[in-house]
A and B are shown apart, each in its own frame.
Chain A
């Protein structure tokens, strides 16, 4: 028998990175399926293009870095592509998808050293880069189709690859975008929201928006799956959503004519997707529970600030990236309390009885 100097433990719970990634993808399936149903063939085409190109970029990078192509099977590139696709407008043109995944995989991930080394969430980095560079294309939202078959195959290709301008009746603004525009003209928030926002539609997802962001219900379903499978913990989603709801509720109470309410903010834009799938990204979020609470709250607060006072209607991407930058700092200051030590690290003492 060859001498194997291998340390204990000699047992494992049979988990693996690919299984973790697979479970996240699985949790995204319901929301993605709804997106396909609502936005038709062009959305499917855009999705395949994004996921496929993400895997392609990953493969190219692995080749250039002299690493084994087997690493493709860890599923991380597919997940990044998937998340980016869900946060893009459903009918985004092909170059947006390809450019986005280039930013996400090549710049956002591999240039940092590959899986686990990146500071910023790759999908959000790409989304923000696209939003800043191509604000028009990134905020042209297709409206849900009346019927899945409304757009045929040929038309789908010309929408995604041909850059065919979308007919007016087919696009619209999101509730967040609409509110921002209207507020700048001096309109009353309550009135605007009464016309443009419906909580039940936001829960079910039958509204305009990014491919996978629209249905709070299905995203919650996926989030619950991740919680049950113990891939994420409740700390980030809960603290993030709670902080947004609380902030919104306070400001709404102060001046309802200028600020949308808590439910509106919770169900709008990428809040639920972000809380369960983006901010909880394992690589770029803090490792301790207390740190995760701080991180989540920070994401929620920054997002609310950007939505309310910033130049963009939605600040999820910015908020997550901002907090990603703070993650090393949070990790440094929010460590778990060590057994037998006080929180400041000095040994525990018990009073003599």
Chain B
């Protein structure tokens, strides 16, 4: 096997040893769950339960909304106390709709349909089950997994390689590492099921070389299958990004504006493969996930298996609470994770980590002027010019920012990580991307209202014309007479 790694990238301190040595811990049930109806890419799920109703573990509580969406299930049994707006796991502090469940502690499940041998079943039927289980990409993007599966089956050139992403390049996070060490068989099973569904030629499981034990466990589990290969890739951020990992493993680049299937690859995260195995063999929907609780302000960092919807304050408490006042609470990793308005937000399907970072770890002094040192250019794994993108974004010249690659930016944060001036480059890119989509929405809206007003004006003119015509029709005989009269006058 050969590598061609990707351009740029950074080597942040890992801090993985904080949580990688302890086994995954199962938590006692929390008192209350707040299961967000919007924890996946796409539209909000539509609640199918009402306040006062009792729900069982695994019961559907939100069906997929319009377009891209995903189903949501009750993680344990209890009473729905409300379907209301709660503080969302989002930096804005906005509230969004969630099903609040008062846990009854019985953990009573709805009967599940166990499948004896999914490999004999219809592929579309399996994809449908993945969709019904509400499985989304668990590496962070939370893109509905079934949508990727059915797109892959429709891809006209077929999928040559199913790539299972065990990169986990974010510092602190060890959830995938622990999962691979402890439950390698299930991951391999999930990978084989995906391979079966999309009819992929081979499976490549890519793992960064800093996870020796995980590599060994996965190799052992993959041994019986000749078409599964565990590929060891160098440890470099952002190896876990799909584009960079595909380049590192296959040497090919996903064409700009294209998808990984354009180079014959479909990628799923190890945790997603695990969830798919759980769903297709045991009939379990996605109601829990492995999440790393870590950071300098957490007393006993560890990986926990937590129910979706658990308030993150409960997770942190179960890890001994915080030692000093955390400077920032992050959902996800420090490089791409999002800052939380409080620990009062619920855990989502896509959250691989909950970090409580202290001031020293965050290292965020005030920004100073850019000295054009171009370290951001060297660090960018996409070959962009971050300093120019930020300059143009600051001047609100978004087209200029696009010229320097804003549209190709994956927001990995490598540039801001190395910036000696501490310029919030990614923030500028988020701002510019948001402004552009807002402008697009405004333009679309004004086009729409313009059409409406044109239509109304036209209608009014027609009405007026019709009225005038009607009036004219009434009067018509008169002018004729008049004309005759005039003639007579002459």
- A–B touching in complex (CB under 8 Å): yes
Q: Which residues of A contact B (CB under 8 A)?
A: 1, 3-17, 19-20, 71, 74, 76, 114-117, 230-231, 233, 282-289, 331, 335-341, 347-350, 352
Check A338–B369 contact: CB distance below 8 A: no
Check A114–B422 contact: CB distance below 8 A: no
Q: How extensive is the interface on chain B, given as a class?
A: 35 or more
**Residues on the A chain within 8 Å of B398, using CB:** none
Closest 8 CB pairs of A and B: A9-B413, A7-B427, A287-B374, A340-B256, A336-B383, A11-B334, A347-B256, A282-B373
| B387 in the interface (beta carbon within 8 A) | yes
Residue of B nearest to A11 (CB): B334
**Residues on the B chain within 8 Å of A337, using CB:** 383
**Given A13-B417, A340-B408, 15 other A-B contacts at CB below 8 A?**
A4-B91, A6-B91, A7-B91, A8-B330, A8-B338, A11-B12, A11-B171, A15-B420, A231-B373, A331-B388, A336-B384, A336-B385, A338-B382, A339-B381, A340-B256
Check B420–A11 contact: CB distance below 8 A: no
**Residues on the B chain within 8 Å of A76, using CB:** 371
How far does the Cβ of B459 sit from chain A's closest Cβ, in whole Å? 45
Check B405–A338 contact: CB distance below 8 A: yes
How far does the Cβ of A65 sit from chain B's closest Cβ, in whole Å? 12
Interface string of B311-343 (1 = CB under 8 A from A): 000000000000000001110101111110110
Residue of A nearest to B418 (CB): A13
Check A7–B421 contact: CB distance below 8 A: no
Check B369–A115 contact: CB distance below 8 A: yes
Residue of A nearest to B370 (CB): A116
Among B92-132, those with CB < 8 Å from A are 92-93
Alpha-carbon separation in the docked complex, A329 to B337 (Å) = 37
Residue of B nearest to A15 (CB): B420
Alpha-carbon separation in the docked complex, A16 to B369 (Å) = 11
Alpha-carbon separation in the docked complex, A114 to B370 (Å) = 10
Residue of A nearest to B338 (CB): A8
| B263 in the interface (beta carbon within 8 A) | yes
Contact of A10 among B328, B380, B405 (CB under 8 A): B328
Residue of B nearest to A231 (CB): B373
| B183 in the interface (beta carbon within 8 A) | no
Alpha-carbon separation in the docked complex, A139 to B186 (Å) = 78
Check A74–B255 contact: CB distance below 8 A: no
Check A10–B362 contact: CB distance below 8 A: yes
Residue of B nearest to A10 (CB): B334
Check A341–B420 contact: CB distance below 8 A: no
Check A11–B362 contact: CB distance below 8 A: yes
| B377 in the interface (beta carbon within 8 A) | yes
Task: Please judge, given known A-B contacts A340-B243, A350-B252, whether A10 and B339 are in contact too, CB under 8 Å.
Answer: yes
**Residues on the A chain within 8 Å of B387, using CB:** 287
| B479 in the interface (beta carbon within 8 A) | no
Check B255–A347 contact: CB distance below 8 A: yes
Alpha-carbon separation in the docked complex, A141 to B420 (Å) = 38
Residue of A nearest to B336 (CB): A8
Q: Quick one: which of B332, B380, B421 has the most chain A CB within 10 A?
A: B421
Residue of B nearest to A233 (CB): B378
Check A338–B334 contact: CB distance below 8 A: no
Question: What are 20 A-B contacts defined by CB distance under 8 Å?
Answer: A7-B339, A7-B430, A8-B332, A8-B339, A8-B411, A9-B334, A9-B336, A10-B357, A10-B361, A13-B10, A13-B417, A17-B420, A71-B368, A116-B421, A231-B373, A287-B372, A331-B388, A339-B253, A347-B256, A348-B255
| B477 in the interface (beta carbon within 8 A) | no
Among B391-437, those with CB < 8 Å from A are 404-405, 408, 411, 413, 416-422, 424, 426-427, 430
| B154 in the interface (beta carbon within 8 A) | no
**Residues on the A chain within 8 Å of B209, using CB:** none
How far does the Cβ of B439 sit from chain A's closest Cβ, in whole Å? 20
Check A15–B418 contact: CB distance below 8 A: yes
Contact residues of B: prevailing secondary structure: loop
Among B224-259, those with CB < 8 Å from A are 243, 247, 252-258
Contact of A9 among B92, B262, B405, B416 (CB under 8 A): B416
Q: Quick one: which of A11, A19, A231 has the most chain B CB within 10 A?
A: A11
How far does the Cβ of B455 sit from chain A's closest Cβ, in whole Å? 39
**Residues on the B chain within 8 Å of A6, using CB:** 91, 328, 339, 364, 424, 427
**Residues on the A chain within 8 Å of B427, using CB:** 6-7
Check A16–B372 contact: CB distance below 8 A: no
**Residues on the A chain within 8 Å of B361, using CB:** 10-11
Q: Quick one: which of A4, A6, A7 has the most chain B CB within 10 A?
A: A7
Alpha-carbon separation in the docked complex, A285 to B374 (Å) = 9
Check A339–B7 contact: CB distance below 8 A: yes
Alpha-carbon separation in the docked complex, A20 to B372 (Å) = 12
Residue of A nearest to B13 (CB): A11
Among B121-145, those with CB < 8 Å from A are none
Contact of B424 among A7, A74, A233, A336 (CB under 8 A): A7
Check B372–A283 contact: CB distance below 8 A: yes
Check B363–A12 contact: CB distance below 8 A: yes
Check A8–B253 contact: CB distance below 8 A: no
**Residues on the B chain within 8 Å of A284, using CB:** 372
How far does the Cβ of B5 sit from chain A's closest Cβ, in whole Å? 13
**Residues on the A chain within 8 Å of B380, using CB:** 336
**Residues on the B chain within 8 Å of A283, using CB:** 371-372
| B274 in the interface (beta carbon within 8 A) | no
Check B341–A1 contact: CB distance below 8 A: yes
Task: Please judge, given known A-B contacts A339-B7, A339-B247, whether A10 and B372 are in contact too, CB under 8 Å.
Answer: no
Task: Please judge, given known A-B contacts A5-B92, A350-B252, whether A20 and B370 are in contact too, CB under 8 Å.
Answer: no
Check B424–A16 contact: CB distance below 8 A: no
Alpha-carbon separation in the docked complex, A352 to B361 (Å) = 47
**Residues on the B chain within 8 Å of A336, using CB:** 7, 377, 380, 383-385
**Residues on the A chain within 8 Å of B328, using CB:** 4, 6, 10
Contact of B255 among A10, A12, A233, A349 (CB under 8 A): A349
Check B369–A117 contact: CB distance below 8 A: yes
**Residues on the A chain within 8 Å of B12, using CB:** 11, 13
Among B278-305, those with CB < 8 Å from A are none
Task: Please judge, given known A-B contacts A8-B413, A11-B334, whether A16 and B420 are in contact too, CB under 8 Å.
Answer: yes
Task: Please judge, given known A-B contacts A12-B364, A114-B369, A338-B405, whether A17 and B421 are in contact too, CB under 8 Å.
Answer: yes
| B66 in the interface (beta carbon within 8 A) | no
Alpha-carbon separation in the docked complex, A194 to B113 (Å) = 95
Alpha-carbon separation in the docked complex, A8 to B339 (Å) = 8
**Residues on the B chain within 8 Å of A350, using CB:** 252, 255, 262-263
Among B254-271, those with CB < 8 Å from A are 254-258, 262-263
**Residues on the B chain within 8 Å of A19, using CB:** 420
**Residues on the A chain within 8 Å of B258, using CB:** 340, 347
How far does the Cβ of B200 sit from chain A's closest Cβ, in whole Å? 15
**Residues on the B chain within 8 Å of A233, using CB:** 378
Alpha-carbon separation in the docked complex, A142 to B96 (Å) = 76
Alpha-carbon separation in the docked complex, A288 to B377 (Å) = 7
Residue of B nearest to A4 (CB): B339
Among B154-176, those with CB < 8 Å from A are 157, 171
Check B255–A5 contact: CB distance below 8 A: no
